[in-house]
Amino acid sequence: MNVSQLLSTLYQEVKNRAYIKQMEVSDQSQTLLKARLYISRELFVQIYRNDRFNTTNLALIYHRQRIYARDQLDGT
C-alpha cells in the first residue's frame, strides 16, 4: 500500500470508526506520510509510511509513552 492508498484508507476508517475522534496529518509528500489517529487527547496511533524504502510503522502512544508498536522494514 503506497502513501496515496494509505491516506485514502485512513480517511475512510475515521468515518467508519466512531472511537477515532480525529485524524491529524503532520507531514505528507508523494512518498511520505506521517499521521495520527486520536482516540482521546492522550491516546493515539501514530502512522509513518515511506514509499521510497517500502516502510510502514505504527505506534500506540498513551500519555507520551510508546506502549505498542509494529514496524515493517522493506515490506516485511
pLDDT at residue number 76: 62
The domain limits of the chain are 3-72
Q: Please give the grid coordinates belonging to residue 60.
A: 500506540
The C-alpha cell 521510497 sits at 52
Mean pLDDT of 59-65: 97
Q: Which residue has the higher pLDDT, 2 or 76?
A: 2
Q: Cα separation of 47 and 76, whole Å? A: 16
CB atoms within 10 A of CB 8: 11
**Closest to 6 (Cα-Cα) out of 26, 28, 22, 21:** 28
What global pTM score does this model have?
0.89
